[in-house]
Amino acid sequence: MPILPATYTLADDGTPYSDAFDDVYHSAAGAIGQANHVFLGGNGLPERWRGRERFVIVETGFGLGVNFLATWAAWRADPERSASLHFVSCELHPFTVDDLVALHARWPEFAHLASELHTAWPGPIPGVHRLHLDSNRVFLTLHFGDARDGLAQLDCRADAFMLDGFSPSCNPELWSPKVFHLLGRMAATDASLATWSVAGEVREGLRRAGFEVERVPGFAGKRQMLRGRYSASRPRPDMPSATTAARQDPAARRAIVIGAGVAGSAVAERLAARGWTVDVVDAADRPGQGASGNHAGVLRPLPSLDDNRMSRLTRAGTLYGWRHVRRLRQAGLSVRAEACGVLHLARDAAQEAKMRAVAERLSLPSGLLRFVDADEASRIGGWPVPLGGWWFADSGWVQPPSLCEANLAAHPEHIRPHFGRHVAALEYEDGNWLAADADAKPIASAPVLILAAGTGLARFAHAAALPVVSARGQVSLLAAETGSAPRVVMCRMGYVSPAVDGLRCAGATFDVDDDDTQLRERDHRENLEKLEAMLPGYTEGIYSEHLAGRVGFRPASPDRLPMIGAVPAVDSVAPGTPLEDIPRQPGLYALSGFGARGLVWASLAGELLAARINGEPLPIERDLATAVDPARFLLRRVRITGMDE
């Protein structure tokens, strides 16, 4: 469902007011005072986060973001604060960044924090958005959509709850038994709760959900507020999928990553950002030389009429991927990439009509997705085309090896590369994984091992249950002058990039179980045929026998979705076995099955797996995390077909 941004007016006393909900956004006595007294004080903060590895707060309505800014400011001011702060919040009608800038100007004491928030603020796009703030110490996880859906989809354990929203009479859905039940389901042992509302139905609903609540003095003119604790003695209702227990001992925060492509370098960077020591092992002499070695790849979403899992995952991956590129650049690292736009053309009139319908139904911000007709598509691409299609104005191309290099260089004190080393054997003993070479010489040892070796995953017996197949892909490299057409990335049964360092990429082929490493003229011809169908007349004077190119082997999965998570310890399970009950190899994880969408998924996959390993709130919805769980294939028969486009 489209996300409609919030609108507001100012009440007579200057308090922001929602016409849609007929209520104010905060107490007329002051937003900061209310945040400090009700939500921080009511949850026993800052005392309760002191000395902890992380502290997780879940809020039911983000609104103006004052509770978040006040919490962030209090956390920064506390020398005994937790090592990291996770703030998870839902919002059906988020403000635009321009409105936030205007509204936050009322609180100059938050100016620096608010500015960082504004820079990272996402557009009105449904789903979960993970923002990294304060040098990667503060994680803001936002769900844009109905809180009842968001709370059901969030996978986290909350140490504290801030129940803030318009009053129960104005917005009863946010104070419903379903919401209270969902809060109880994600409550950590002895989780606290605070809210300004003391309505009888609120107290009773929370009590039924497992919270012991009491009325205490309220803020300013409000006589009472509510605070509570989750009762650990009560039976836990419907626990969400368990995240791996956090490793409190810094000495245990060590991992081996096999593979230095976009997947392996991404998870290494995300773990290192959390203070982990990571050994990255790759047989090549530098990062990004396998399937991640192309001159330019595409980073853009793949929408669908029903906004299915593929659509949502590629959208989330695209948004997170471009935010990740910007973060690396802000840290002074060089990533070759350009958000020049991506034009996905229709194959025929029927598909063009469907693409128009998809864009209209999803109603996403125009920078993320817009339908354009043939005339506009021709102007955008700089070449006449017969049909229109999707225009992703904020997407573009990335040079994968440069991304891999930047990931590994982001935290040199925590990442130890081992290039030119081939892992021939893996052993698990006494809580540690040992990676050794063909001469049985140890390369690295750690409690956590992540297999991100692309198609090489099949070499390891420990991952035998994962149905990864090799898909050979050949790209063709065409000489190109800067500024020549096409000026954007264009797609239609293949893709072609703009000129990058005098070359443009065209391709790619997709052949399952084809292990030929040599360039083939017939594959160049196939790429040129795709290019000609996309841009009629473009290939005149280009001859397949004269083209350079590159061959890579991409790890593909039967359902076209990636594999991100713990590796199963069995080859089969009984029908109907819950996914969370499937035994897993201790400390062994996989990042694979990306197919032709390595760039789209890699950065988000790295964050997802790092959060899972570190026992943190996940950066995507629970159903999407389940959809990419490597153990899913044990629960159904799979068929390898149609894995390209």
Q: Supply the angle between the helices 200-208 and 177-185 in degrees, to the nearest 10.
A: 40
Residues of the chain with pLDDT under 70: 22, 28-29, 232-248, 637-645
pLDDT at 235: 47
Q: What is the pLDDT of residue 236?
A: 46
What do you get for the CA distance between the two ends of the chain, in Å?
A: 25
User: What are the residues whose beta carbons fall under 8 Å from the beta carbon of 268, sequence distance 6 or more?
Assistant: 255, 257, 260, 278, 280, 407, 408, 415, 606
- Superfamily for domain range 469-553: D-Amino Acid Oxidase, subunit A, domain 2 (3.30.9.10)
Is residue 556 within 8 Å of 467, Cβ to Cβ?
no
CATH of 253-290+402-467+558-635, one of 3.20.20.70, 3.40.50.300, 3.50.50.60, 3.30.565.10: 3.50.50.60
Q: pLDDT by residue (tens digit) across 54-75?
A: 999 999 999 999 999 999 999 9
Instruction: Please report which helix (H) or strand (E) contains residue 189, including its range.
Output: strand 187-195
Q: What three-state secondary structure class fits 593?
A: coil
Q: Which CATH superfamily is domain 9-230 in?
A: Vaccinia Virus protein VP39 (3.40.50.150)
Please give the structure tokens belonging to residue 268.
Answer: 């290494």
Decide: helix, strand or coil at residue 40.
helix
Per-residue confidence (pLDDT) for residue 172, from 0 to 100: 80
CA atoms 24, 29, 32, 33: torsion sign: negative
Backbone angles phi, psi at 274, to 5 degrees: -95, 10
DSSP run (H or E) holding 552: strand 548-556
* Bond before 401 cis per omega within 30 degrees: no
Torsion of CA 461, 467, 468, 472, to 10 degrees: 120
Domain extent listing, the chain: 9-230, 253-290+402-467+558-635, 342-393, 469-553
pLDDT at 639: 42
| Rounded Cα–Cα distance for residues 42 and 35 (Å) | 9
Burial status of residue 511 (CB atoms within 10 A of its CB: 0-12, 13-18, 19 or more): middle
pLDDT at 575: 87
Q: Which of 413, 418, 448 is nearest to 432 (CA)?
A: 448
- Which residues, including other chains, have CB under 8 Å from residue 600's CB and lie 6 or more apart? 298, 299, 300, 301, 302, 314, 317, 318, 321, 594
Q: What is the DSSP letter of 280?
A: E
pLDDT at position 559 is 93
